[in-house]
Amino acid sequence: MRRDFDPAQPELMDQAELLDGRPSAELQRDLANLRWLNRHFGAISILHRFLNRWLLPTIHDPRQPRLRVLDLATGEGDLPRELVTWCRKRGIPVSVDAVDANAATLAVARGQSAEFPEITFHEGDIRTWEAGKQTSWDLVLCSLALHHFSSADAVRILRHARQLSSRHLLVADLKRSRMGALGIWLLTAIFLREPMTVHDARLSIRRAFSRPELAKLARDAGWGSFKQASFPVTRQAIWIDKVSTGKESPFNPSAPDY
């Protein structure tokens, strides 16, 4: 199954605009569907897996400073909210910078995140976004974004994300496959029938990268040492376990699926 990517035909959510200063009801329903999918189809569980992997060993260290997190292509901010909730339960001080290019989507994110002052939202292009004086974050995340971009831009995003991370880096996305495409078609035919969700979900799986393609993007971006694995459902991730000494885990392209 070849990648079907046409920059002239973006996803509908990428074209959403504010109407009289407000996000449309259609966009809000679509983002609610995405939040449900993230909860039940892998994005949240992947986040928890790596929070447990990286942060649990540090929670009893009284010298542990505030955790600084950057979330690229945050969407409506459900992953940052989940991360903050996880940190609150464990007494980990945290601040999150969440970046997205779409003003209408950010309006929904801000509305959903009113009880999360730890999160600051920014409108910007994740290929080039910078935050003034702050130049690095302890943890950089990017979830379900790469398939929105050409291969060349995906490499730019991965390279930029790598430059912004001082400790840990996690990029997760869909994994293109015929079975995945069939599953999403059935899901949107039977359950999630909102027109924007149907259009974008079916397009997304065709635009997603295969596992070998994602690994090549990381190498082209200069990641060097990284790990990769597949996850349920139709998900994959690449990551760097980076400690304060600057050493990274060895590249393991044959890591087993989780």
pTM, full prediction: 0.93
Specify whether the CB–CB gap between 150 and 10 falls below 8 A.
no
Domains located in the chain, CATH noted: 12-241 (3.40.50.150)
Please state, for a pLDDT cut of 70, what percent of the chain lies above it.
92
pLDDT digits (tens, 9 = 90+) for 63-112: 778 999 999 999 999 999 999 999 999 999 999 999 999 999 999 999 99
pLDDT value at 249 more than 60? no
Range of lowest pLDDT (12-16, 143-147, 245-249): 245-249
pLDDT band at 251 (very low <50, low <70, confident <90, very high): very low
The separation between CA 258 and the C-alpha centre of its own chain, rounded to angstroms, equals 18
pLDDT of res. 257? 58
> What residues form DSSP beta bridges with 69?
96, 139
- Burial group, residue 211, by CB count within 10 angstroms (0-12, 13-18, 19+): middle
Contact predicate 44/112, CB 8 Å: no
Count of residues in the chain: 258
Comparing 75-84, 213-222, 239-248, 249-258, the range with the smallest average pLDDT is 249-258
Summarize pLDDT for 124-140 with one digit per residue, the tens. Answer: 999 999 998 888 999 99
Separation CA 166–CA 95 (nearest Å)? 15
Locate tokens 């801000």: which residue? 110
